[in-house]
Amino acid sequence: MKPRLLIFTMAIGLVITTSAQAAISGSDHDFSGQAWSGGTICQPCHAPHDGPNASSLGLLWNHEVPSYANYTLYEGATSNDGFAGLDRDSQACMSCHDGSIALDSFGGTTNGTQFIGASKQIGAGTGDLSNDHPIGAVAVYDVTSTSLTPDPKANGVRIRSMTVAGQAESVVSCASCHSVHNKASLPQLLRVTNSGSQLCLACHVK
């Protein structure tokens, strides 16, 4: 690689890294102040050279993932093949937020002791999401009926893609409403304020 190109590439990498750190620094997902994190911001979730669960989850994922046989999704719909009923981003969220895996179980460590607080658990360690907003396979977003559903990106939310019953589908994800790297002033790391139900109305035309 030519010296100028190398310097340019390194500079771009530094800007991206610094930007990501600045966004998450001080947010609910900044664990750098915890003794178990080793003072790092990124590594509890990601590894720069492929984490132990990256082959199954992607995202250079460095955190242990649950081993449930299934998740019970909205109104009792069942994913009986593990994580397959959830989109990739939701899987990543649940590796901490379902309460079954310790926050400090990352980098190949599987016997962590620091669990997420009960008020931030979703599924309470059982995989039961039946009373939570539909995500993944039970939350296919109709991107063709534009007269009924707005463009989600234009309204601040983000629709994700996954395979549902062998078909590529657009689905609602945890990451549709929440921005995990965003230190915005909005509560619960929301992408859009829900004042006046603005977040809900980004998808639900009423």
The 10s digit of each residue's pLDDT in 3-33 is 444 443 333 333 334 344 447 888 889 999 9
Task: Using pLDDT thresholds of 50, 70 and 90, give the confidence band for residue 49.
Answer: confident
Q: What is the pTM of this model?
A: 0.82
Task: Using pLDDT thresholds of 50, 70 and 90, give the confidence band for residue 35.
Answer: very high
Query: What integer is the mean pLDDT of 48-75?
Result: 82
Residue 171 β-bridge partners: 140, 160
User: How far apart, in whole angstroms, are the C-alpha atoms of residue 11 and residue 6?
Assistant: 9
User: How far apart, in whole angstroms, are the C-alpha atoms of residue 129 and residue 110?
Assistant: 24
**Residue 100 pLDDT greater than 70, yes or no:** yes
Instruction: Measure CA 173 to chain center.
Output: 8
Q: Which of the pair, 16 or 188, is modelled with greater confidence?
A: 188
Residue appearing with tokens 């750190």? 21
Query: What integer is the mean pLDDT of 103-119?
Result: 92
Query: What integer is the mean pLDDT of 59-63?
Result: 91
| Token pair of 4 as six digits | 């100028």
Q: Which of the pair, 87 or 21, is modelled with greater confidence?
A: 87
